[in-house]
Amino acid sequence: MSMKRREFLTKSVSAGIATTVVPLMFGDLDKLSAKPPANGNYDLAAIRGGSPEEMFEKAIESLGGYDRFIKPGQSVLIKPNIGWDTPPERAANTNPDLVGHMVKRAFEVGAESVTVFDHTCDQWDRCYRNSGIEAAVRDNGGRIIPGNNERNYVEVSNPNGKRLKTVKVHEALHNNDVFINVPVLKHHGSTTVTAAIKNLMGVIWDRRYYHGNNLSQCIADFLHYRKPDLNIIDGYRMMTQNGPKGVSVNDLVDLGALIAGTDIVAVDTAATLFFGSQPEEISHVRIAEEMGLGTTNLETLSVNRVRIS
């Protein structure tokens, strides 16, 4: 991508011109979709135009169905971004309608239990309540637990990490069979873009260590310890500036998009296209690929693009 095109895309997003950016993103993926899906399942789904629930259904169908990931009797951990004490329309957190629907559908395919949590940045109970996620989880039969107490974190070894050799991980990650990662796509002041890989900082205790020891390397290093079984990126609304918390609704565009896949590096690569960026410009994505934790080469994948409206 030329510098002029990259600058144009970035400026367009910042100005809120989603109608310009989204077609270009899907145009890039148009070039990557000739590879047929293996065994009928696509590697990556990029959905545009519906409600969060509708886009999830199209995406999960493309990947082989929710029952591909959740078997009867299994316990499920769903990890959204609930980091900020802001209302849903500010899009600093994952869309509550998406989270609630995913909880409901998990039970429909046979999950025994569904747990939701995040290690929040603002006061945890206000984040849970004012994001709308707490009510959405409980209304659909799930359990939402706090992530603010160090006693619930277990120190584990991560020998393959370059900077993150040990890390305290929330016990919920160890106590559930299936791990589903559901970040919101947005700007971030430290990492430019925050999506699937960055969202995993919400399952660890000491985020200060990350910030003091090469943030991008630590973010990527965690993938050596545990990758999610499924990644769903919420791009229903996208924060284009002043992230990760945002200042006002003026920071947002109504993107109407969702990206899903099992390769966390690939889904983040697709997400960077919304910002007019290349994956090598997002340090933790580039590092993760260099360590063999996923691919940024979308041309090797089968990509299903669906426009609902």
Residues in the chain: 309
pLDDT of residue 137: 98
Q: What is the C-alpha radius of gyration for the chain, rounded to an integer number of angstroms?
A: 18
pLDDT of residue 189: 79
Is the pLDDT reported for residue 48 higher than 90?
Answer: yes
The tens digit of pLDDT for each residue in 216-256 reads 999 999 999 999 999 999 999 998 888 788 888 888 899 99
pLDDT band at 5 (very low <50, low <70, confident <90, very high): very low
Distance of CA 301 to the CA centre of its chain: 19
High-pLDDT (> 70) share of the chain, %: 89
**Tokens describing residue 33:** 């979709």
CATH no. of 3-307: 3.40.50.11440
The tens digit of pLDDT for each residue in 11-37 reads 333 333 344 444 444 545 555 555 778
Highest mean pLDDT among 89-93, 132-136, 276-280: 132-136
Q: Which of residues 257 and 21 earns the better pLDDT score?
A: 257
pLDDT of residue 7: 38
The residue type of 231 is: N
> Going by DSSP bridges, is the β-strand pair 153-157/184-188 parallel, antiparallel, or unpaired?
unpaired
The tens digit of pLDDT for each residue in 156-181 reads 999 999 999 999 999 999 999 999 99
Where in the chain are the domains?
3-307
pLDDT band at 8 (very low <50, low <70, confident <90, very high): very low
Contact 87, 134 (CB under 8 A): no
Task: Classify residue 159 by burial, with Cβ atoms within 10 Å: 0-12, 13-18, 19+.
Answer: exposed
pLDDT of residue 193: 87
The tens digit of pLDDT for each residue in 259-274 reads 999 999 999 999 988 8
Please provide the DSSP assignment of 30-71 as one string: HTT--SPPBTTB-SEEEEESS-HHHHHHHHHHHTT-GGGT--
> What is the chain's mean pLDDT, rounded?
89
- 257-283 in b/e form (b: 16+ CB < 10 A) is bbbbbbbbbbbbbbbbbbbbbebeebb
pLDDT of residue 30: 52
Distance of CA 30 to the CA centre of its chain: 22
